[in-house]
Amino acid sequence: MSRGFRNADETQSMSDKAVAEQIERIIDRGREDVAAVDGRCNDCGGPIGAERLEALPSATRCVACQAAWEQRAGR
């Protein structure tokens, strides 16, 4: 009986590892330009705004953070 439990644990940890590796691959792939999640600013987490996203679907920051970022970047 205990052997059965042990095998189940090993199978579970193996699939956990596989899932973790898959997630890491997805994160690696998207690291360069991460699209805003649910229309939220990547900097402050606030809403980017539907109008802004419509005008610029690739926007990853709200207007305020984008302006601050552009100032930091010296543009």
**Site residues for Zn ion per CB under 5 A:** 41, 43-44, 62, 65
Structure token digits, residue 75: 């543009």
State which amino acid sits at residue 49: G
Q: Rank residues 19 and 67 by Cβ distance to Zn ion and give the closer one.
A: 67
With CA atoms as reference, report the closest residue to 43 among 26, 63, 24, 71. Answer: 63
**Of 26 and 35, which CB lies nearer to Zn ion in the complex structure?**
35
Minimum CB–partner distance for residue 27 and Zn ion (Å): 21
Nearer to Zn ion, 3 or 75 (CB): 75
Tell me how far, at minimum, the Cβ of 74 lies from Zn ion, in Å. 19
User: Least distance in Å: CB of 46 to Zn ion?
Assistant: 5
